Amino acid sequence: MGAIEIVDAHKTYRRRRGGPNKAVNGLDLVVDDGGVHGFLGPNGSGKTTTIRMLLGLVRPDSGTLQVLGQPVPHALPSLVPDIGALVETPIFFPNFSGRTNLRILGDVAGISSSRQEECLEVVGLRERADERFKAYSLGMKQRLGIAAALLKSPRLLILDEPSNGLDPAGIREVRELIRALGADGRTTVFLSSHLLAEVQQVCDHVSILARGRCVASGRVADVLATGASGDVVVSLDPTDAERGLEVLQDNGFQVAVHPDGIHARDVGDPARVTRALADSGIYLRGLTPVIADLESVFLELTADDAADVTAGDAA
């Protein structure tokens, strides 16, 4: 049983101006139980609409959605105690304190006040829990949102851009928390983020969305491998560097000088490089495959959609 299973989901928003907008267009997605699953996509690729469909806030036009093995939105009432969510900006009553806001949610779900205090403590808000929500900084609001998502001790935790507004220390703590939750053997974290480095650091699996459909999905390492170039960096003794370059060129490799040695492009089998150099009496110090990072893979997969993505990480 997967934590999330979506088959051929479609959602089109009708707009008064500009014609219909296909936010989700034949989306297939499987998120296995446990671990942290990244959900990447450029702005407008359908990430938030997908999350809203999973939470019953938006109705899909067609397709089937399952959460924790049960169909949604039909089974949501029985599933809700097991789902924690932070969707986009944390929304609370602005004139209530952080503590009162959590108390109200605690009443809805029947959660003890000690658990509420525990969650406030975890996100570092206990000392300022009696201040009004609207007086909180963006980072504090985000922390309260995370505290609310954790209240129920959910089996599925859906986090939409949880690092928004947090300072570097806060970002690190949130990532530690996500990793800890993903590793507890009980919780599945579904992490929607535009921070590629965050996904690469924190997630076990990733799905990449473009134009409302999933263009890549799997273990982060496997998705990265799809973008592997076949290039290698050859490290040699500095005295052999010039001759090594000539030998590789003579053997038909495309080469260039690299700070760590020689960059050989599209070598296919790396053993060919080793053999060519050894036959000329040059021995390697190292041979490093050039592996694409998630940013490269993401930009390649999302092509036209990627223009407005912030492909960096402040942390």
Partner 1 sequence: MSALTSLTLGAGPVVRRPSLLKAEARRFRSRRLIRNLLLLGVIGYAVTVVVMFTQYEKPSAEGLREARQRVDQMVAEQAQYHAECVKTTPPDGMTIDDYCGPVPTASDFGDLSNFLPRQAFGLERGFGDFAQVFGIGFAALAFLIGATWIGAEWSSKNLASWLTWEPRRIRVMTAKLTVLTVLVAVMAALVQLVWWGTGYLLASTRGVTDVPVDFWGEQWAMQGRLVAFAVLAALGGFALANLTHNTGAAFGIAFLYFAGVETAVRLLNPEWQRWLLTDNSIGFINPKGWTVVWLDPGAFMGIESRVFLSHWGSFGTLAIVTGVVLLAGIGLVARRDLS
Q: Which of 103, 128, 263, 272 binds partner 1 (CB under 8 A)?
A: 103
The verdict on 186 binding partner 1 (CB under 8 A) reads yes
What minimum distance in Å lies between the beta carbon of 169 and partner 1? 9
**By CB under 8 A, is residue 40 in contact with partner 1?**
no
Residue 294: DSSP 8-state: H
Q: Is 109 in the site for partner 1 (CB under 8 A)?
A: yes
Q: Does 94 bind partner 1 (CB under 8 A)?
A: yes
170 binding partner 1? (CB under 8 A): yes
Closest listed residue to residue 51, CA positions, set 15, 11, 16, 22: 11
267 lies in the binding site for partner 1 (CB under 8 A): no
How far is the C-alpha of 298 from the C-alpha of 314, rounded, in Å? 18
Considering only the stretches 115-123, 219-227, 283-291, 296-304, report the one whose residues sit in contact with partner 1 under the rule CB under 8 A: 115-123
Residues 6+ apart with CB under 8 A from 254: 264, 265, 266
Q: In terms of CB distance, is 31 or 177 closer to partner 1? A: 177
Q: What is the DSSP string of 122-158?
A: HTT-GGGTTSBGGGS-HHHHHHHHHHHHHTT--SEEE
Q: Which of 180, 109, 183, 184 is nearest to 149 (CA)?
A: 109
* Phi and psi angles of residue 224, each rounded to the nearest 5 degrees, phi first: -65, -35
87 binds partner 1 (CB under 8 A): yes
The CA distance from 270 to 277, in Å, is 11
Q: Among 43, 62, 64, 112, which residue sits at the site for partner 1 (rule: CB under 8 A)? A: 112
**104 is an interface residue for partner 1 by CB under 8 A:** yes
CA distance 187 to 157: 7
Residues 192 and 88: their CA atoms lie apart, in Å, by 9
Please give the residues from 67 up to 86 whose contact with partner 1 meets the rule CB under 8 A. Answer: 73, 76-77, 80-81, 83, 85
Size of the site for partner 1 (CB under 8 A): 53
Q: Where does this chain touch partner 1 (CB under 8 A) — which range of 1-9, 53-61, 267-275, 283-291? A: 53-61
Site for partner 1 contains 110 (CB under 8 A): yes
Chain centroid to Cα 121, Å, comes to: 26
Q: What are phi and psi of 115, to 5 degrees?
A: -65, -40
Asked if 204 and 219 count as a contact pair (C-beta separation under 8 A), the reply is: yes
Name the minimum Å distance from CB 35 to partner 1: 14
Closest CB to partner 1 among residues 80, 287: 80
Task: Give 189 or 264: the residue with its C-beta nearer to partner 1.
Answer: 189
Residue with tokens 């990480």, as numbered in its chain = 313
| Residue 97 DSSP one-character state | B
56 binds partner 1 (CB under 8 A): yes
Q: Which residues bind partner 1 (CB under 8 A)?
A: 13, 52, 55-59, 73, 76-77, 80-81, 83, 85, 87, 91-96, 100, 103-105, 107-112, 115, 118-119, 121-124, 143, 150-153, 170, 173-174, 176-177, 180-181, 184, 186-187
